[in-house]
Chains A and B, each alone.
Chain A
Amino acid sequence: MNLAVRDIRHSFSRFVFTTVGIGLLLMIVMGMGGIYRGLIFEATLLVDRIGADLWVVQGNTRGPFAENSRIPSNIEDRLRALPEVTRARRFVSHAIQRDHHGKTLRMMVQGLAWPDDKGEWVSLVAGRSLGQAHFEIVADRSLGLALGEQVKFGKDVYRVVGLTTGMSGIAGDGLAFFTVSDAMAIQFDSPGEAIRLERASRLVRTGSQDFGRAQPLLLERAGGSSSGISELPRPQVSAILVSLNPSADVDEIISTLSTWSDVTVYTAQQQKELLLSGTVDKSRRQLGLFSALLIIISTIIIALIMYTLTLDKIHDIALLKLIGARNRVIVGLILQQALLMGVFGYGLAWWLGQYLFPYFPRRVMLETPDLIKLALITVLISMLASLLGIWKAMRVEPNTVLA
């Protein structure tokens, strides 16, 4: 006869409510683990998908995801000249936050080197890849933009031509893919008044110098568009993505590039490691510590529940001892109830998570190895939690029945 099941049957509503409570607690633990995995996934998503063998970034920096990286876009041409380099693409990445239809629209702008890179590697759920050099976006669904919708950034209007899903950046903002020139136009857009003031300022600066006074044509150009002044620096991008011949000796190419003092080069794996050890490291550790804390709290709460349930049955336990029940019968009664609560609570947590986690603002990834680990932890904490109740039950004297 299974006493645990019969006790549950008798106090079914109490068991259900207690299990729901434990289930919600476990769902939070499960969710924290899922957010932890989601954070890692989102951080490395772009590096994984973009398919570059090497990331060439500003010298002595850790790349565009860790810090500001600015390198001249013409490095792309220098890289193409290297043997074994099959492809070199400019890459721009920066976050923007604008108002759109009265709502805040925050996105990670990714600039693709159109027409070399039209974003064919981005998995689309609707629409198409970038089809022209300007004014098109492939946006993630999390941004809330519809296919065909037009969005104004700076002085230009962009049309959504493709939609992706599950493409987010390190901060959880949806990714939006533009051509590099559009991404830079959005990044460096200045109001007309600021441009006029800068031109006037340039005129004054140039006019106050000897070469400006001596060369009227130069002075005239200084007051015009900056694109007409070849002396101004070339546009800068975040990184250059390099693809290599599959048979290439990567170490040799890295060794060659390391002699270029104006850039730093990382493999895709190194770029991922930099992301995980740098940008997301503190968040990872915080989530990990918070999950551990939640597990400890869950254990304490389940222990207190089991202790209370044991106290409710203390008279019955004393009676069982009096009529000669072995300790394993009494331990089984408490332990089986704790395990049943843990198992049902875990099942409820998983089931609820399937419905609730997709509505979380950040990605929550429930991976099978993590679920198995949490299941084992649940069994373990259920067993640990029952110890307090078992300790109490072992101490009760059979003659308590007579009291």
Chain B
Amino acid sequence: MNTVTDQVPAIEAVGVTKVYGHGQTEVIALNDVTLRVARGEVVALLGPSGAGKSTLLTAMALINPPTSGQIIIGGELVMDGEDAKIDLRTFRRKHLGFVFQKANLIPFLTALENVQVALEINDTPASTARQRAMYLLDHLGIGDRADNLPDALSGGQQQRVAVARALANDPSLILADEPTAALDSHRGRQVMELFAQVAHESNAGVIVVTHDVRALDVFDRIVEMEDGRLLESSEHTGVGAP
């Protein structure tokens, strides 16, 4: 278990509600959800399909504005209901990292370039970006595949490149949506351990939506959702852990 090192939470979702449709077609995907994740903390978001996990994740990722409630990242009010308080794309570029079920690498860029592009988008000079990208790939154990296109990488290697890309700009928050779904249990566990490692090393908050209960011991906290609400959260319970 890690020690939470920063008093300001990495993210706070306060009273977040998301409603789709109107009248009889109205669906409440998130119902007054409040969640705080500290810097350096690794949180698993569990729950059945339709529980609202991905909706909460996309709301916190600033790509799916809530109907009401606030999103505060690094102490800064970012979303108040549907109103963006800042330029969301710029904020995502500087403060957020994303990992998905599929690695979502850009197919025409090499592994190195896929990481480098995230840095260059954030105005890092090309040579510095290249060095940093290479460092991250080396650190994640795939430096030898840096010049390979995504097609030439295994699923696990692709996911490591995606993690490297998410870490590229030293984000304060990493959001992952079922990052191990396409991997076998061994590779899946490796990726989860990787999240824990980078969260602790870079002091970033990490929220992982997952169905995979085999590696829950890796997380600092497990939060369960059902019908758009948060249930009990437990600290390092190892629920469902092998």
Question: Are A6 and B89 neighbours in the complex by a CB distance under 8 Å?
Answer: no
Q: Is the CB of B122 within 8 A of A1?
A: no
B92 at the interface (CB under 8 A from A): yes
| B100 and A316 within 8 A (CB) | no
Contact A399-B117, Cβ < 8 Å, known A319-B104, A324-B122: no
In the bound complex, what is the Cα–Cα distance between A401 and B120 (angstroms)?
20
Tell me whether A321 and B108 are in contact (CB under 8 A): no
**Most central of A1, A316, A320, A321 by chain B CB within 10 Å:** A1
Is B109 an interface position by the 8 A CB rule?
yes
Per a CB cutoff under 8 Å, which of A6, A7, A398 touches B63? A398
Residues of A contacting B64 with CB < 8 Å? 399
Interface of A is mostly: helix
The answer to whether the Cβ of B231 comes within 8 Å of any Cβ in the partner chain is no
**Whose C-beta in chain B lies nearest to the C-beta of A400?**
B63
- Judge whether B126 and A323 touch: CB under 8 Å: no
Convert A134-176 into 0s and 1s, putting 1 for each residue whose CB lies closer than 8 angstroms to a CB of B: 0000000000000000000000000000000000000000000
| A402 at interface, CB cutoff 8 A | yes
Does B35 touch A at the CB level, under 8 Å?
Answer: no
B146 to chain A, nearest CB (A): 14
Are B90's CB and A3's CB within 8 A?
A: no
Task: Please give me the residue from chain B that is nearest to A324 by CB atom.
Answer: B93
Chain A positions 372-403 with a Cβ under 8 Å from a chain B Cβ: 397-399, 401-402
Contact B89 A324 (CB under 8 A): yes
| B63 pairs with A399, CB closer than 8 A | yes
Q: How far is the CA of A1 from the CA of B116 in the complex (A)?
A: 8
A78 interface residue (CB < 8 Å to B): no
A326 at the interface (CB under 8 A from B): yes
Q: Complex Cα distance A326/B87, Å?
A: 11
Q: Does A11 contact B (CB under 8 A)?
A: yes
B94 close to chain A: CB less than 8 A? yes
When distances are taken between beta carbons in the complex, the residues of chain B under 8 Å from A320 are 106, 117, 121
A49 at the interface (CB under 8 A from B): no
CB distance from A397 to the nearest CB of B (A): 7
Residues of A within 8 A of B96 (CB): 324
Contact B100 A321 (CB under 8 A): no
What residues of B have a CB within 8 angstroms of the CB of A326 in the complex? 89, 121
Complex CA–CA separation, A319 to B89 (angstroms): 12
For A327, the closest partner residue in chain B by CB is B89
Q: Are the CB atoms of A402 and B89 closer together than 8 Å? A: no
Q: Tell me if B219 counts as interface (CB < 8 A to partner A).
A: no
Known A-B contacts A9-B108, A401-B104; the reply to A322 vs B92 at CB < 8 A is yes
Confirm or deny: B58 has a beta carbon within 8 angstroms of a beta carbon on chain A. yes
Which residues of B from 81 to 115 have beta carbons under 8 Å from A?
89-94, 96, 98, 100, 104, 106-109, 113
B94 adjacent to A324 (CB under 8 Å)? yes
Inter-chain contact A399/B122, CB cutoff 8 Å: no
Contact B117 A10 (CB under 8 A): no
Interface residue B118 (Cβ < 8 Å from any Cβ of A): yes
In the complex, are the beta carbons of B58 and A399 less than 8 A apart?
A: yes
CB distance from A394 to the nearest CB of B (A): 12
Task: Assess whether A280 is interfacial by the CB under 8 Å rule.
Answer: no
Give A10's nearest chain B residue, CB to CB. Answer: B108
* B177 contacts the other chain (CB 8 A): yes
Residues of B within 8 A of A324 (CB): 89-94, 96, 121-122
In the complex, how many angstroms separate the beta carbon of B112 from the nearest chain A beta carbon?
A: 10
Is A6 a contact partner of B92 (Cβ separation < 8 A)? Answer: no
A325 B177 Cβ-Cβ under 8 A: no
Check B100 against A329 for contact (C-beta < 8 Å): no
A329 to B106, CA, bound (A): 14
Q: Given A320-B121, A399-B58, does the pair A10, B149 have CB atoms closer than 8 Å?
A: yes
Identity of the chain B residue whose Cβ is nearest the Cβ of A11 in the assembled complex: B108
B120 touches A1 (CB 8 A): yes
A319 vs B61: C-alpha distance when bound (angstroms) = 13
A320 to B93, CA, bound (A): 10
Cβ-based interface call for B165 (8 A): yes
CB under 8 Å from chain B, chain A span 301-341: 315-316, 319-326, 329
CA–CA, A322 and B162, complex, Å: 13
B197 sits at the interface (CB 8 A)? no
CB distance from B91 to the nearest CB of A (A): 8
Which of chain B's residues have a CB closer than 8 A to the CB of A399? 58, 61, 63-64
How far is A319 from B63 in the complex, measured between Cα atoms in Å?
Answer: 11
Contact of B100 among A6, A11, A325, A401 (CB under 8 A): A401
In the complex, what residues of B have CB within 8 A of residue A10's CB?
107-108, 149
Whether B31 sits at the interface, judged by CB under 8 Å, is: no
Contact A323 B107 (CB under 8 A): no
Contacts A10-B107, A322-B61, A325-B89 supplied; 4 other A-B pairs, CB < 8 Å: A1-B116, A323-B121, A398-B89, A401-B104
The 6 A-B pairs with the shortest beta carbon distances in the complex, nearest first, are: A324-B93, A10-B108, A399-B63, A324-B92, A7-B108, A398-B63
